[in-house]
Amino acid sequence: MSELKDNPGITDSLAGQGISRRDFIKFCTLMAATLSLPSSFIPKIVEALEKKMKPSLVWLEFQDCAGNTESLLRATKPTIAEIVLDILSIDYHETIMAPAGKQAEKSLMDVVKNQKGKYIAVVEGSIPMKDGGVYCCVGGRSAIDIAKEVCGNALATISVGSCAAYGGIPAANPNPTGAVGVKDAVPGITLINLPGCPVNVENITATVVHYLTFGTLPATDRLGRPYFAYGERIHDHCERRAHYDAGQFVREWGDEGHRHGWCLYEMGCKGPETFKNCPVVKYNEGTSWPVQAGHGCIGCAEPNFWDTMAPFYKRLPKVPGFGIETTADKIGVGLAAAAAAGLAAHGIARAIRGKDEKEEKGE
């Protein structure tokens, strides 16, 4: 940690941007809540962020739509993004950095060379493996070549969004580019997966804040997802849950139940099978999230969701063994089997075979 760059007075620096100490403390309180920590940890977070440490971060974009970058940047004032930019030294990010071309690539390689083992790599987008990785190149180098060097020399890598975590939409059947997530492209690295389409920016920030506060990365489930964000189902914190329990369901878009905010289960909501804290942190600084806006969850934080969660508007099959006390690790195998049963009913046998093969290999 002593190798990190100086961060002279974060509160002074934020004040210069019109962000008060009160806003900073509110941010630290939000981080404690996101990490499911009691309020007694807020002073520890404040103290950690006020220390003169500023880890270097490089953000790689491969086969992606830049939706995770948009998630980071779409915020109102005082922005979480501004606070993050003060906590971190973002030394490379193609979308938001001023330099371009060879100058930009030099910035990336300078970090890899001069801060080996000390910087954080963030990856957005999947990595194509087919035909030598020719389907995604940056500065004349393939994504897999860049990922091996940058992620392989990082302190830790954070995969943001479902494409970087599992391959996402580029990896959907028939996966023409052989797209995979970072875990499969660069095995053996220290990796945190933050899937979702896009990621909730609070979860990126909280992961970094956890590291700065405790010196360790947060505990994860078998898919590399931190428990604080992916330990419970969407369904367990959904604001429409009371309607589910009362048997009040939307049956048709725009019907009376839809207008009154009833449960979207019958309209295909995948909240009962999806582990993520969307109902708690939401998007755009807590403004809203898909179910609040009237659309069912499509399960985008789960592996291969584009194949396994389709059809998005078809009601989930009844899945035995799902209780409110259930965790992602406990139901992992049961969930996969249930999803497979649902897929078989819809004739997507090829997707099932791929999933089963992966499970046999213990992936």
∠ at Cα 344 (342, 347), nearest 5°? 120
DSSP, residue by residue, 139-167: TTEEHHHHHHHHHHTSSEEEEEHHHHHH-
C-alpha–C-alpha distance, residues 303 and 299, integer Å: 9
Q: Check if the beta carbon of residue 13 is closer than 8 Å to that of residue 187.
A: no
Residue in this structure with the two tokens 């001069």, named with its chain if needed: 114
- Taking the least distance from each CB to ligand SF4, the nearer of 264 and 328 is 264
The H or E element spanning position 203 is: helix 201-214
C-alpha–C-alpha distance, residues 14 and 287, integer Å: 23
- Taking the least distance from each CB to ligand SF4, the nearer of 151 and 281 is 281
CB of 282 to ligand SF4, least distance (A): 13
Residue nearest to ligand SF4 (CB): 271
CB of 265 to ligand SF4, least distance (A): 4
- Taking the least distance from each CB to ligand SF4, the nearer of 244 and 305 is 244
- Taking the least distance from each CB to ligand SF4, the nearer of 57 and 335 is 335
- Taking the least distance from each CB to ligand SF4, the nearer of 235 and 282 is 235
- Taking the least distance from each CB to ligand SF4, the nearer of 144 and 331 is 331
- As a whole number of angstroms, the longest Cα–Cα distance in the chain is 61
Phi, psi of 66 (to 5 degrees): 65, 15
First to last CA, the chain: 33
- Taking the least distance from each CB to ligand SF4, the nearer of 234 and 351 is 234
Coil vs helix vs strand at 200: coil
- Interface ranges with ligand SF4 (CB under 6 A): 234-235, 238, 240-241, 244, 263-265, 269, 271-272, 291, 296-297
Q: Which residues are within 8 A (CB) of 81 and not within 5 positions of it... i.e. 6 or more apart?
A: 72, 73, 75, 201
Coil vs helix vs strand at 34: helix
Q: Return the DSSP state at 40.
A: G
C-alpha–C-alpha distance, residues 60 and 121, integer Å: 7
